[in-house]
Amino acid sequence: MSHFDLPLDRLREYRSDVRLPDDFDDFWASTLEGSREAHGETYSREVDNGLTLIATSDVTFSGFAGDPISAWYHRPATGEPTAIVVEFQGYSGGRGLAHQQAEWTAAGYGHLRVDTRGQGVNRGSSGATADPHGSGPAAGSMTRGIASPETYYYRRVFADAVRAVDVAHELAPGVPVFIAGISQGGGIGIAAAALGDDVAGALIDVPFLCDFPRATSITDSDPYAEIVRYLAAFRGLEDDTFRTLSYVDGVNLASRASVPALFSVGLMDQVCPPSTVFGAFNAWGTDDKQIVHYAYSGHEGGGAQHRRLQLDWLAERLG
């Protein structure tokens, strides 16, 4: 592992040249309107998590096109949460088991830990949400339905994420809602912060799904390499593929964000190259933002050290 990307001073100034589609805002407005119109009742059932100080509910809500999405809702066993952290998962991960991930709730917050549809095969973090929509040939989740923005997998995932924000407001009315996510979860978090209603802030760690043209040209690592393998098999589809990706690119979505944000980046990260993270951070639509870089870290980012910074950042935001 090495410093393979731009030096830090150039990263701070880096601006992505990802194209913003002319109908970008209309595309997402229409997608979210359709998903909200299709939503049904949110189901919440308390479960035994084996923990004394944390209560957990098994939540099922309707996401894109009304599809059922699973999440755990953790909260303090006594008293009301002072905020809710809506967390999205890394690539192939799911919501896990009911007793996992206690840090946010131990700090006094509610924690909505949301499944990613069609994923959840990580041995330490299994999922419970299917993706009922088919696609043509694909080299993994990255290329499911990539022939058009309307059929693309991450259109559904991002709509699910915005609906999760809606549900967080339902679960604890009047409580501030924050977004959190690492890697793919960070990319989904950018979308949720940009497109969701009444978001108080975003914690975005080493985000994936940003600056696709640059990412696919400078890293051989999966999951970006799935796009490369797809284009190697289907030559001549480059323009159509990158057009589809432009609708979910974290750089374009970040430009629509208007909430405070704390980012992290590992300067040796070969999975989500530093310039792609800075591309999204520098495009973020407000000056109320901060990025913490870890000079000798890869995709693990700042780990537990950065989590402490996030806890302090949240506490400061809540005053």
Catalytic site residues? 183, 269, 299
Question: Would you call 296 exposed, middle or buried from its count of C-beta atoms within 10 A (0-12, 13-18, 19+)?
Answer: exposed
Q: How far apart are CA 277 and CA 279, in angstroms?
A: 5
- 180 burial (CB, 10 Å; 0-12 / 13-18 / 19+) is buried
Binding residues for substrate: 91
Backbone dihedral angles phi then psi of residue 195, each to the nearest 5 degrees: -105, -20
- Between CA 33 and CA 252 the distance in angstroms is 20
Q: Which among 145, 150, 131, 122 has a CA at the least distance from the CA of 69?
A: 131
Which two structure tokens, joined as six digits, stand for 169? Answer: 């407001």
User: 204: which DSSP letter?
Assistant: E
